[in-house]
Amino acid sequence: MWGKDRVEVTRELVSSSPGSPPWSFLDGWDAVVNCVAVADVARIESGELIEQAWLVNARWPGVLSRACGGRGIKFAHVSTGCLYPETDALASERDPVVTGNAYCETKLAGDLALDTCEDLILRPRLLFDNRKTSKNFLHRVKHVFEVFSDHVETMTCVLDVVEAARVLVGVGERGVYNVGCRLPVSTEEVARVLGVYRPVVAQDEIRRRKGYHLSASVMDVSKIEKHVAMPATLDRVLEMAP
């Protein structure tokens, strides 16, 4: 799985021919899972990272997919479940997607640049693991968030994304797959499991304070569970608690 530690996405690389020397890093691989993304929503919305987001989130996936295809390399891309509208129904892979902010616009553009008959797209949301970093949702719950929402939504453990990619690529699956824990919960419930207690605020108020809207959907994970069992959210949170 390739993140920023594996490849640096530059304007020069994205604009170059996939057969040119800068693309030699693909040589020798059977499959590539693209995890490179600009996901700091606040800094994208402020305009600080908007150009980088359009380069990395929107342009890069399609360019990398075509480069892999030309070499016979299987390609998978990690997208986001934040593209689904916020409704009372479970969001399935067949449902329409929406963009409520600039971050989602760049991620959708990246998805649309792919060929779902050839490429695999994974859609997780609210990624967490056991690292002490701001990229970990559990770390933000413990050390960053001043208030919590009681809105139930899907959350995804990074380990489950890795396993989903490993299994689905291995069996040659293509198209879109939601990846997330079963039994969705609210941020307030996660905080209680972690032993953190702060004020509970309505989701709309949290969005007003942030200045942008990020869809809080509950995803249908029945499709991925035909291949990989998804754990219950709070069970996974306890395992990963930083």
Residues 134-172: pLDDT tens digits?
889 999 999 999 999 998 999 999 999 999 999 999 999
**Structure confidence at residue 213 (pLDDT):** 64
- Give the chain's residues under pLDDT 50: none
**Structure confidence at residue 209 (pLDDT):** 78
Q: What is the DSSP string of 137-171?
A: HHHHHHHT-SSB---EE--EEHHHHHHHHHHHHHT
What distance in Å separates the CA atoms of residue 10 and residue 25, rounded to the nearest whole number?
14
**Structure confidence at residue 193 (pLDDT):** 95
The distance in angstroms from the start CA to the end CA of the chain is 23
What lies within 8 Å, CB to CB, of 176 at 6+ separation is: 79, 93, 111, 116, 121, 123
**Structure confidence at residue 87 (pLDDT):** 80
Cβ pair 217, 182 in contact under 8 A: no
Give how far Cα 182 sits from Cα of 8, 94, 120, 235, Å: 34, 19, 21, 10
What is the residue type of 129? Answer: D
- Characterize 129-159 residue by residue with b for buried, 16 or more Cβ atoms within 10 angstroms of its Cβ, and e for exposed: beeeeeebbbbebbeeeeebbebebbbbbbe
The verdict on domain 11-240 having CATH code 3.40.50.720 is: yes
